[in-house]
Amino acid sequence: MEIYYEKSQSAMDKLSIPVKYGVAIAAGLIAYFLILSLFGAHVNPIYSLFNGVIMAYGMFEAIKHYRLHKGNKFKFQKGFMAGLLTGFNATIIFTIFFGLYATEFNPGFLDDLITVWIKDYNTNIGIVLFVVAVMGFATSLVLTLAYMQLFKKSWNTKEAKKHTISGDSEK
């Protein structure tokens, strides 16, 4: 019984960081979107650049927390999956919210967001949600690859190790 508990606890630990941080990132993205909507700025795509900042901070913290949690047992592949799952969870949650917002809470939102495209290219909610999801997945992949370069164990010289986050520097 105890061995089974340890295995299920370990499986839960693997998912807890990506789920916790994914939900936190999604909450940040949703809050930012709703704040923009209060001022009518949510229809201006330039403000979506700050979404990348929210994703970047949350994913950095998730991978950092995962590395601290694992300590010396931290593996590149596992850290990569933790970062990727964190970003994917946030993307899925935000895409669902965005779909609900655009169809249920503010049905005229798409008309304001893509005024030219909706008439000229017959764009609908499915295409917009697809683009939102692809942008989130791509951002997650790129950020995870970038951050894992900071957190992986370095094979560099002692001098170069001083400039990494991995903590491998010997003094």
Q: What pLDDT is recorded for position 7? A: 46
In a domain, 89, yes or no: yes
Report yes or no on 8 lying in a domain: no
Question: Do the domain assignments include residue 165?
Answer: no
The per-residue b/e assignment along 44-71, b for 16 or more CB within 10 angstroms, e otherwise, is eeeeeeebeebbbebbbebbbbbbeeee
Find the domain containing 126 and state its range.
13-154
Q: What's the domain count of the chain? A: 1
| 9-37: b (≥16 Cβ within 10 Å) or e | eeeeeeeebbeebbebbbbbbbebbeebe
Q: What is the pLDDT of residues 96-127, one digit of tens each?
A: 999 999 899 988 878 777 765 666 677 788 88
- Across the range 44-58, mean pLDDT stands at 91
What is the pLDDT at residue 129? 92
Q: Is residue 52 part of a domain?
A: yes
Residue 170, in any domain of the structure: no
Handedness of CA 2, 67, 137, 48 (dihedral sign): positive
CB of 29 closer than 8 Å to CB of 94: yes
Within-domain flag for 87: yes
pLDDT band at residue 149 under the 50/70/90 scheme = confident
In a domain, 171, yes or no: no
Specify the range with the lowest mean pLDDT, choosing from 19-23, 87-91, 150-154, 165-169: 165-169
Radius of gyration of the chain (CA): 20
